Structure 1
Amino acid sequence: MKMKVLLLKNKTAQLDKYEIAFEDNGFEPFFIPLIKHTHVPEEIMDLVHDKAYLENLSNIIVTSQRTVECLSESVLPNLTPSLREALLNKTVYAVGPATRDFLLRVGFKTVKGGDDAGTGSILADIIYNDLLAEDDRIDNHRELLLLVGEIRRDIIPVKLSNKGLKVREVVTYKTVDLNDNADRFKDAASPNSWMVLFSPQGTGEILELWKNKLAEDIKIASIGPTTEKYLNENGIQPHVVSAKPDADHLLNAIREYSCKN
């Protein structure tokens, strides 16, 4: 029987690398969406249609695949060919390899960060150093466009603003918790399986259920240090923490643990 891996996330549109990685290596991936995403494309559409703004824009920052889905499904299809090309030619800085790869599949030509930027703090440092290399007068640089969800951390804008860079935040999606997360998790759970946390949002009832009834049957993997910290704050030490927030490192961490135990 294949070992089940409960992925506490929405399945990525077009291609989900976690599904492929685990299926190809003998696991049974099972997605449990915890939140509902709603695109909010209006403000970014207004900016793209502002010719002066678009021409002056050099760099975009994207921290989430949900933002890429908004761009792919609700923005790019509704642009003229010339506006679409202009937007896709902008340099984009991305947190994590999955977001980077998604941006490239959508059609963006220059995407930086990715593998080298597993967190927003690291990406902020990369952006600052890149811009400093272009011109040591940091206040000469044009405004950076940061595309975010309604619920987000402020590490990137605070860090860059403190260094003298101008950052404009635009919300591209909203999220709400689904109301049956614990029930769907309980129905999907089985002995000798794993659950993977990608974000704290929507996991509260699931973690309570795990602590009270399922801790002996299901091991926990964290996609990175931020989620690990959230688990620790809830009295949980994950069995593994992925060295980088991508499918291959997560798979390797679970396989190595399973081989040793």
Structure 2
Amino acid sequence: MAPPILLLKTRSSPNDGYDDYFSANNYTPTFVPVLEHRFHTSNLAHVRELFASGAFNLEAKNAKPTQINTNEDAVVPSKRYGGMIFTSQRAVEGFAHMIEEHELPSTPSIPLYTVGPATARTLTTLRDKYLPTSTIHGADTGTGENLAYMMLDHYNDLQETGTSANSSTSLHPAPKPGLLFLVGEQRRDIIPKTLMDPTLPDSKRIDVHEIVVYETGEMDSFETDFKTHVQGYNGEESMWVVVFSPSGCEAMLRVLQLGPFATAATATAAEDGSKRKVFVATIGPTTRDHLRNKFGFEPDVCAEKPNPEGVAEGIRRFMAGLDN
């Protein structure tokens, strides 16, 4: 029987790399959503208007004015954009939802920047269907900071090689088009800070315009849903719980009776891994440190790489250690 693995995340659409990988490697993956994502339909409608207005058509001389109302209640005039940035699968899904509901009024050929293989896979599916001549870059950068430095080189190189297409005249070149960044309500600012760093020379600086297209909150039903899955576990095989963010950690520990919620029985089992049947892995050090610092709980595995292969390798090494 394939060992069960509970993935504390929403299954990505249209495909999920964790589902594909673990299903193909003799596991039984089950998704238990922790976070609820709500799309900002009005802001996504404004994104569509940018495509309709010609904001991504770098040869358009008279783009129709459009105003963007962001979560900060700021009204920003329309600009010309040379590409887009996606650092979360939810942003890609929100963009795809808008296209599927209302279609895309134009299909420009632009660079699409992303971070991490999972988001890149989701973006590739969208690109192949709706923006077939666009290109995807940054899938292997791993962090927003690495992606930002990559864009400083890559995007500026694209603009330099395409100068003739982006210039009004040789004496009066048009301003370098900026990048449109679709983000969630909660996000780090490392990318816009790096690209718009005032210490950079004007020729290197890249304008970034953020539009909030979704917000995230912990699902009220998560603890109950997770408890149902755990209670349905027969205990014959080792079960793994993979945690993807600090959200939901307290409920997870409470259900599993670990950390500050440990009983005498679970505390004894925690000291002797050979007696345990349920193990915990984190997608990376941020979630691991949250469990350590807030709850005094040490997860069994912290993936060295935030992807399905990294999680699976960490699990394999841990289980091999128990057998020795």
Give the TM-score category using the shorter length: 0.7 to 0.9
Q: 1:45 is matched with which residue? A: 48
Is the CA contact 1:121–1:156 (under 8 Å) kept in the aligned structure 2? Answer: yes
Is the CA contact 1:197–1:223 (under 8 Å) kept in the aligned structure 2? Answer: yes
Shift in Å, 1:169: 0.5
Structure 1 distance, partners of 2:279, 2:252, is 13
Is the CA contact 2:249–2:291 (under 8 Å) kept in the aligned structure 1? Answer: no
Cα deviation digits, residues 150-181 of structure 1 (max 9, x gap): 12222222222224432110111122211122
Shift in Å, 1:147: 0.8
Is 1:150 the counterpart of 2:191 in the alignment? Answer: no
Task: Provide the aligned C-alpha RMSD in A.
Answer: 2.3
Is 1:195 the counterpart of 2:241 in the alignment? Answer: yes
Residues 143, 252 of structure 1: alpha-carbon distance in 2 compared, 3 angstrom cutoff: same
Structure 2 distance, partners of 1:48, 1:230, is 41
Cα deviation digits, residues 7-65 of structure 1 (max 9, x gap): 01001112112112112211111111012222222232232222245533212110111
Structure 2 distance, partners of 1:167, 1:16, is 29
Instruction: Specify the structure having the higher radius of gyration (Cα).
Output: 2
SS at match of 1:171: strand
Using CA pairs under 8 Å that are at least 6 residues apart, name the structure with larger relative contact order, 1 or 2: 1
Q: 2:122 is matched with which residue? A: 102
SS at match of 1:5: strand
Cα deviation digits, residues 214-249 of structure 1 (max 9, x gap): 674432212123333333332333322223222222
| Identity level (%) | 31
Cα deviation digits, residues 163-202 of structure 1 (max 9, x gap): 4432110111122211122222222124532111222234
Whichever residue aligns with residue 100 of structure 1, its letter is A
Shift in Å, 1:129: 2.4
Is the CA contact 2:82–2:179 (under 8 Å) kept in the aligned structure 1? Answer: yes
Is the CA contact 1:4–1:27 (under 8 Å) kept in the aligned structure 2? Answer: yes
Is the CA contact 1:34–1:203 (under 8 Å) kept in the aligned structure 2? Answer: no
Q: 2:253 is matched with which residue? A: 207
Q: TM-score, normalised by structure 2?
A: 0.70
Following superposition, which runs of at least 4 residues in structure 1 exceed 6 angstroms of deviation? none
Q: 2:301 is matched with which residue? A: 240
Structure 2, unaligned stretches of length 5 or more? 59-79, 161-174, 271-276
Whichever residue aligns with residue 252 of structure 1, its letter is E
Residues 102, 11 of structure 1: alpha-carbon distance in 2 compared, 3 angstrom cutoff: same
**Range moving further from structure 2, 104-113 or 155-164:** 155-164
Structure 1 distance, partners of 2:13, 2:246, is 21
Q: 2:21 is matched with which residue? A: 21
Structure 1 distance, partners of 2:92, 2:246, is 20
Structure 2 distance, partners of 1:251, 1:97, is 15
Pick aligned residue for 1:179 from 211, 217, 220: 220
Is 1:66 the counterpart of 2:90 in the alignment? Answer: yes
**Range moving further from structure 2, 229-238 or 153-162:** 229-238
Structure 2 distance, partners of 1:60, 1:51, is 14
Structure 2 distance, partners of 1:161, 1:225, is 28
SS at match of 1:49: helix
More helix by share: 1
Structure 1 distance, partners of 2:100, 2:151, is 25
Is 1:124 the counterpart of 2:148 in the alignment? Answer: yes
Structure 2 distance, partners of 1:10, 1:26, is 21
Structure 1, unaligned stretches of length 5 or more? none
Count matched residues. 252
Q: 1:224 is matched with which residue? A: 284
Pick aligned residue for 1:92 from 92, 112, 137: 112
Whichever residue aligns with residue 199 of structure 1, its letter is S
Residues 112, 52 of structure 1: alpha-carbon distance in 2 compared, 3 angstrom cutoff: closer
Q: 1:34 is matched with which residue? A: 34
Shift in Å, 1:102: 1.2
Is 1:78 the counterpart of 2:102 in the alignment? Answer: yes
